[in-house]
A and B are shown apart, each in its own frame.
Chain A
Amino acid sequence: MTDSAHNDRTEQMEIDASAKWPVLVFFASALFWLLLGGALQLIAAIQLHTPAFLSDCAWFTHGRIAPAAQNALVYGWGMNAAFAFGLWLMARLSATTLRHGGWLFVAAKFWNLGITLGVLGILGGYSTSFELLEMPRFVTLILLAAYALIGAWAVTTFSIRNTENVFASQWYLFGAAFWFPWLYAVAQLMLFHTPVRGVLQPIVNAWYVHGLYGLWFIPIALAAAYYFLPKILGKPVSNYYFAPRAFWWLVVTTAFAGGSRLIGAPVPVWIPTVGTVANFLLLVPVVIIALNLFGTFAGRYRALGGSVTLRFMLVSMVGFILASVCNFALSLHAVAEIAQFTLFAVLRDWLVFYACFSTAMFGAAYFILPRLTEREWRSPALVRAHVSATILGVVLLTVGLAAAGWQQGQLLNNGTVAFGEITRAMTFWFAWQSVVLGLLLIGHLAFLINFIWIASPINSRGTAHAEFRNPPDLSLPEAAPEGHA
């Protein structure tokens, strides 16, 4: 037992050592974009209630800054963090080191180059105006080439795995790794390279956006949850027997659910109907996944006291449930009639991207980075600041955007209310949004400082060396004793 535990620990250290530099580079890039994108997002939010803010310069006009912020966050922070986490987890669960990590540096450089050009392109006026595809055309090949390297690494690591069994996290990672490039490439082809005509364009766009959120960000967040819960709680995932069904059901229905973004639009009505139907069916995997994850937590909530990762994972799981509920609600015509085109729709996407995915990545980072750098987190105060800011921010923004969106929708549907009146009524909520985004940004800054201390030689003498215990083996849940007399 001791031997195998020792071997496990050694092996994990080898894997971590091989993954150290690529993962750190991806995390560092991710953090850079998180802060830059967050700053741009804050400027865009301020412009909603103070339109004169920075509006004189064409580079900062709202129509350019808002998509620039969104792309910087999604492709800069989101994708880089997902790469960092995904590569590390794939290596760990495949029980193999990350070979030839140097190529991943190249990939990271090209990915970041592409995003930089893309964001600058949007700010300079070359936006394509399609949601989440605003980056100009010349960026596409750079991003796909960079991704090809990363995706090839993930798939290769998986295929040379030393393990017989494939765990849930690996299904989700593998799936996500496959889906993103195909979603992106097909969308680029059908919108820009050989453009489809008329209303087919928004249909392709809706398919892509829903696919990006539901088939990349959510699976990565779920991969994190399925891994870290048993890892930290020392208890197997509850009702794991149903997890494969949840995976397939989630995947097939999410792929069709994009049409629900087009309710009431001038597209053939079967498309939003199919989207709504897919969202109904999504309730089944959401229930199973909730059973899996919350069931694992059951009875162990005390462990939250000592684990940052678990706290973030819990927020992520709640975010997942809220996002699914929000998605389901918006696919009902009665709700869509009011809440479409409002801040409520913004909430739907923000819950997936931030409340579910970003928090999962924060939790993962707090677990992974000490293992890569073999150092401890230096400032518990900053950790606490980050956690509190995030939890408070998620709660406040969820409540705020939901209330704001609902009010906005009702005013929009009242033909007698002048548009200026609607804007005046919403000013309070716009200000609320700015404040909360500022709060979240402060939390991210706290994280950045801790990251710099742990990952770079800056002030490194203050950061202690980390001592890891050998993790014990997981055991099967006890079978109930035989009931016969």
Chain B
Amino acid sequence: MSAEPDKNFRLEQACASDDSIQQVHAQLRNAKPVKAGHYPFLPLGLLGLMCTAIFLSSTYLVHYSIRFDPLVYNDHASREAPGALKVAVATPRDLGKRVFSNTCITCHQANGMGVPGAFPPLAGSDWAQGPEERVIRIVLLGLNGPIKVSGTDFNSAMAPLGSVLKDDQIAHALTYVRSEWGNKAPEVKPETVTKIRAELAGRTAPWTAEELLKIGN
């Protein structure tokens, strides 16, 4: 038992020697807490607590670890195994949009309206939605001289792109142009471009509107 408590707090007196502390506790460690005639609740209670904790923890772990997936950061995500990865495939329109954005956009603009007085519009254009033989030729070899697009006159030069763009790029770009901004014209296939390019082998001069109007119907 502690001695007279020193209300002045000048000194803490010890009430047990270190040696006896260690000896007594070593004995206590090996002695189960048994009171004769009493059923020891505490060990059972603690065991119950441990089991409950482990059970709840396991349930929680299974429920919220989402397969230990390193790419899941949402504890409420689906626990089902992810299916095969659906690889997004770029449609011809998407690819054509990319070509348009790299090449055609400078003159014909992102909204396809061109520059009044300088570059014809593609949006709502009768030429763009016209026969594909004409537009393919324009892209391959360029166009010079006067041209009437959707009722407006233009007179400038479009550079040839046949040596810059591949057949499928030309086809996809045209497909994009012919289906964007309200345009409704059928797509252009890369094979068609290849065929026309072969037909035109040898010609280097840009087209004129007059010549083109004779081609196609």
Contacts and interface: CB of A to CB of B under 8 A. Distances in A.
Q: Do chains A and B touch in the complex (CB under 8 A)?
A: yes
B209 to A, nearest CB: 58
A266 B28 contact: no
Interface in B1-55: 1-29, 31-33, 35-38, 42-43, 46, 49-50, 53-54
B100 to A, nearest CB: 36
A377 B10 contact: yes
A106 B74 CA distance: 51
A4 B23 CA distance: 14
Q: Is the interface of A mostly helix, strand, loop or mixed?
A: helix
B8 A303 contact: no
A230 B60 CA distance: 39
B53 A281 contact: yes
Contacts of B37: 480, 482-483
A269 B77 contact: yes
B60 A280 contact: yes
B65 interface: yes
A482 B36 contact: yes
B56 interface: yes
A281 B54 contact: yes
B49 A268 contact: no
A197 interface: no
A7 B181 CA distance: 101
A266 B22 contact: no
Nearest to B34: A479
Contacts of A468: 11, 13-14
Interface size class on chain A is 35 or more
Nearest to A283: B53
Contacts of A287: 46, 49
Given A92-B18, A232-B14, A266-B73, A273 B60 contact: yes
Contacts of B17: 5, 8, 12, 470-474
B12 A303 contact: no
Contact of B64 (A242, A244, A269, A470): A269
A95 B68 contact: no
B64 A309 contact: no
Interface stretch (A46-54, A146-154, A160-168, A213-221): A160-168
Contact of B2 (A4, A234, A333): A234
B212 interface: no
Contacts of B61: 273-274, 277
A188 B184 CA distance: 64
B205 interface: no
A267 B10 CA distance: 53
Nearest to A382: B9
A167 B74 CA distance: 45
A266 B20 CA distance: 53
15 contacts: A163-B22, A233-B2, A234-B2, A237-B25, A242-B46, A266-B73, A269-B74, A269-B75, A284-B50, A309-B12, A366-B9, A469-B14, A472-B16, A476-B28, A482-B36
Given A230-B16, A231-B16, A380-B10, 5 more contacts: A234-B1, A267-B73, A307-B2, A464-B10, A476-B24
A-B complex: 8 closest residue pairs judged by Cβ atoms:
A306-B5, A483-B37, A234-B15, A165-B26, A473-B20, A270-B65, A376-B10, A471-B14
